[in-house]
Every structure is written in C-alpha cells, then in structure tokens.
A = this chain, B = another copy of it.
Amino acid sequence: MQTLSTEDYLKAIYHVSQSSSGAVATTSIAKQIGAKPSSVTDMFKKLSDQNLVKYQKYQGVSLTNEGVKTALRIVRKHRLWESFLVSHLNFNWDEVHQVAEQLEHIQSEKLTNELERFLDYPTHDPHGDPIPNRALFMKTYSKILLTELPVNKEGVCIGVKDNSSGFLRYLDRRQIGIGTTLQVLHREDFDDSLHIQAGKSTLMITKKTAENIYVKP
C-alpha cells in the first residue's frame, strides 16, 4: 500500500515528464514538491524498488507503466474532485487546488467511479485539463498557446498552463475563462504584448500572460 508521499512524488514526476522530454531530474521534483534534493533521491530509490520508476544514479527517473497508471489514478481523482467542488459546492476555479490535493488521496474505487457518474462523466476539469476515464484514458484535444494564434484569427480559451490561484484570479478580473472567445488584434513587436478581443471587450495582455493561455483555433 502506498503512503501519501509516494503518491505525491508519482504525480509530480508525471507532471514534470509531461512538460519536458527525457528523464526527470532530481532538482525539478525537489522544486515541484518543495523538498530538498537529498530527500528526492531517497524517494527515487524507494519508488524504484517498487518498480514504479526506472532510476539510474545521476540520470533522473522515468515512470514505468505501473507508475504511469498510479499517477493517472491520482490525476483522475484530483480532476474529478475539482469538478465537483466547482459544479456543486460553489468553489471558484482558483480555490479548488489545495482541497483537491487532499481529496485525491482518498482510497475508494467505488467513491471515484460514483463521483464520476454523479458528475455525468465529465471529460475536462474547471481548468480545461482532461480527466482520465475509468480505463485511465483521456482525450487530449489539440491546443495552442495564445501566443501562437495568428493575428485576427478567432480562438476559444480551452485551458491554462499556469494553475496558480494568482493567475486564475487575474484572468477572472480580465473576464477571461474557459469558453471565452479570443482574438489577437495586434501584436506589439517592441515588447511582445498583445491587444486582444476577449468576449465583448478589448484589452492588452503581456506575453507572459498569453503564453499561459491555451486556445482552440
């Protein structure tokens, strides 16, 4: 049986490996988890003993098939709970993360599957991230960053890269959310800032903001 902590590490390894190629480095997990690299090394060894990761000294880790499955089971629970909090318990999309971090560790297959049924088999969570189904399969539809959307072409916001509540609240203030229609009106060469149409209003956003918003063209 897994302790909470090994689950946290597996999830972190999964997320880091999604947003970069090759093996996952000790330091990247240390940053993600908020632990010292030496603690991460210890855990890499433990996970390796359990055949959840492939580990070679000084070369980082990669998840085994079993490790991916375990990680996806946690991601599934995390995203289902986030969906529930927003759809039924009046949570805002910037408030759900911390609570879902706890709920994702609850062990009960029946609970997870019944929650999924109760929510009517959602495919995406409140941040636009796909929810693995019972077979741990998820549809990842093609998406591009707002920085890559050609000028004057319309797109729909379908997700965010940065899930921090600071960024999400900022988007709320700008009235940008999942489903908002976006269009780049002008790209400023000087500082890469963008003039955009967001729903009915026009506004200016920085490059940094734009590269944390996913759109479907």
Q: Chain A contact residues (Cβ within 8 angstroms of B): what range?
A: 20 to 34
Chain B residues within an 8 Å CB radius of A108: 98-99, 102
A103 and B102 alpha carbons, distance in the complex (Å): 9
Chain B residues within an 8 Å CB radius of A106: 99, 102-103
Please determine whether B85 and A111 come into contact, CB atoms closer than 8 angstroms. Answer: yes
Assuming the contacts A88-B118, A118-B88, A118-B89, asked whether A107 and B111 have C-beta atoms less than 8 A apart, the reply is no
Query: Is A95 interfacial (CB 8 A cutoff)?
Result: yes
* 0/1 string, A166-199, CB within 8 A of B gives 1: 0000000000000000000000000000000000
Chain B residues within an 8 Å CB radius of A85: 111
Chain B residue with Cβ nearest A85 = B111
* 0/1 string, A81-121, CB within 8 A of B gives 1: 00001001111000100110011011110110011011000
Q: List 23 A-B contacts (CB under 8 A).
A: A85-B111, A88-B118, A89-B110, A89-B111, A89-B114, A89-B115, A89-B118, A90-B114, A90-B117, A91-B110, A91-B114, A95-B110, A98-B108, A99-B106, A99-B108, A99-B110, A99-B111, A102-B105, A102-B106, A102-B107, A102-B108, A103-B103, A103-B106
List the 9 closest pairs (A to B, CB-CB), nearest first.
Answer: A89-B114, A99-B108, A102-B106, A90-B114, A99-B111, A88-B118, A89-B118, A103-B106, A89-B115
